[in-house]
Amino acid sequence: MTTELTKTPDKNADTVKHRTTKIWAVAGGKGGTGKSFIASLLGLHLAIKGKKVIMLDADYEGANLHSFLDIKKSGYTLTDFFKNKIPLADLVLATNVPNLKLIIGDIYSFDPRGFSYSQKLKLFRHIKKLAADVLIIDLGAGSGVNVIDTFLLADRKIVTSTPQTISVENLYHFLDRAMFRKLDLELDRHGLKSTADEAMEQREDIALKTFRETAYYLATYSDQIRVLFEKELDAFSIDIILNQVRDMEEMKLGDTLKDVLNSYYGIRSRYTGCIHYNESLWKYNNRFYPLFEAYPSCSTLLEIGKTAEKLLQGKSKITSRDTTQTIPVFLVANTPRAVQAMNGRKVLEITHFPFKAGRLSKRKLDNFLKNNDYYFKDELPFSISRSHFAIVEHDGRFFFQDRGSRFGSIVNNIEVGGEEYNIREVRLRRGENSVRFGRKSKSLSFTLLVNEPID
């Protein structure tokens, strides 16, 4: 059921004197990268997990985050902050999702010229006073100065892109603008703007086409600027989320983006999340909370959850290899007995292949000799063998292999392995795969969620 918010501000929305709220900003150059889609799912995931979340629609020209949260266009909006001078905390509205609140964006574009610099600074002061565990800002499209400045305000600067070339180019353009703007603001704040202007006037025939060339030139001109740049670049970090990925080659683009940003800008960047294309999501018509309730083990929601947890971690680090480049496969327990067999876990994430699994033995030597990546708990009469199955990957395709188990497995209604079955390997299909281990009278039911290229 669609939630309609009446024009009643949440008077209980607290502000904080000393900021503890973590601010995340989700940007992505021009439209079409799924910023609002990702921002809304991140907010829903965190709220469902018990975090107090406020979402701010900062699309200053075309706010639509309320639609992704299934909320009608009513109640106070960001317009009231600028026009009617209502404090931002009084514009925080409750949603039908526990722990999740929303500030509706500037739906009724009050002035085509936007807002003044002083109004923007006032907005930023109010944003920093909002009380929550996480404040997620959904930014508008493009790389205008108001969008860039709001992006730079965040503790977590998140950029989204699809694998398409034009989307990646727009992302580079956005980050170029953001980095130049960041350094320009810092030079001005530290009283070094005139020194930088003087350096640019004296560069003679030196052509400076990129951010890196400009930063390097200014740093060699002034030791003060060099120290400032080193400090600011070291503190600056970017989280990359790649959206609408369809195959392994597209997924690897995230690592390429990360490496380019690390080397081109000299900043910390991390390939934080990979969200595969899932056409079935759109039947929910942006009503994603019912999706969380009905299909908590949906592959997209599992990927969002993994991404959110990484964003909650500390400062990004530059690494030569990120585990995000491996397509995760999720093993989901369907019954209480299956949860018990997975040592009390509902979901097991598999990130390296081949992945070998079997039953945990009371004899430690048996466990050592079997060399499994994961050990299931099982009780007499056993359904899982000590060397039961493996999941292997060939050229981006995934296969379920029997490893000489006694009772075998049933994968997508195909009997694999065991003493009575002839088939030893079966191809896993993209999406959901049903898997049952062991004796038919005492089998354990699981779902294998797999993302791989479409044939």
CA gap 431, 276 in Å, rounded? 10
Residue 110: band (very low, low, confident or very high) from pLDDT cuts 50, 70, 90: very low
Please report the sign of the dihedral spanned by the C-alpha atoms of residue 173, residue 175, residue 179, residue 182.
positive
Looking at residue 273, what DSSP letter applies?
E
pLDDT > 90: percent of the chain: 26
Residue type, 242: L
Place of tokens 């509205």: 93
4: pLDDT strictly greater than 60 = no
Closest CA to 408 of 399, 397, 418: 418
426: pLDDT strictly greater than 90 = yes
Against a cut of 0.75, is the pTM above it? no
φ/ψ bin of 101: left (φ > 0), alpha (ψ from -120 to 50), beta (otherwise)? beta
Residues 138/36, Cβ–Cβ less than 8 Å: yes
Task: State pLDDT tens for residues 5-45.
Answer: 444 444 444 454 555 899 999 998 777 788 888 998 999 99
Residue 153: band (very low, low, confident or very high) from pLDDT cuts 50, 70, 90: very high
Residue 282: band (very low, low, confident or very high) from pLDDT cuts 50, 70, 90: low
CA gap 309, 271 in Å, rounded? 13
Tell me the CB-side half-sphere exposure of residue 177, using CA atoms within 13 A.
19
CA gap 310, 180 in Å, rounded? 27
What is the rounded average pLDDT for all residues in the chain?
A: 80
What residues contact 116, with CB distance under 8 A and at least 6 apart?
none
87: pLDDT strictly greater than 50 = yes
CA gap 144, 130 in Å, rounded? 24
Q: Comparing 68-82, 265-279, 411-425, which segment has the lowest mean pLDDT?
A: 68-82
Q: Which pLDDT belongs to residue 100?
A: 92
Region 68-82: mean pLDDT is: 76
Task: State pLDDT tens for residues 332-350.
Answer: 888 888 988 988 888 888 8
CA gap 117, 105 in Å, rounded? 18
Q: Which pLDDT belongs to residue 149?
A: 92
1: pLDDT strictly greater than 50 = no
Structural class in CATH, domain 22-322: alpha beta
- CATH 2.60.200.20 positions along the chain are 329-450
Region 92-107: mean pLDDT is: 85
Q: Which pLDDT belongs to residue 6?
A: 41
Tokens linked to 1: 């059921």
262: pLDDT strictly greater than 50 = yes
325: pLDDT strictly greater than 60 = no
Classified as helix, coil or strand, 333 is strand
391: pLDDT strictly greater than 90 = yes
Give me the phi and psi of 223, to 5 degrees please.
Answer: -65, -35
Q: What is the CATH number of domain 329-450?
A: 2.60.200.20
CA gap 96, 332 in Å, rounded? 28
Widest Cα–Cα separation across the chain: 84
Residue 27 pairs in a beta bridge with 159
DSSP-derived pairing of the beta strands 409-411 and 414-416: antiparallel
CA distances from 248 to 37, 134, 303, 329, 451 (A): 22, 32, 15, 13, 9
Environment class of 50 (CB within 10 Å of its CB; exposed 0-12, middle 13-18, buried 19+): exposed
Element (H, E) at 113: none
Region 282-305: mean pLDDT is: 71
414-416 β-sheet, strand order: 347-350, 329-333, 444-450, 431-437, 409-411, 414-416
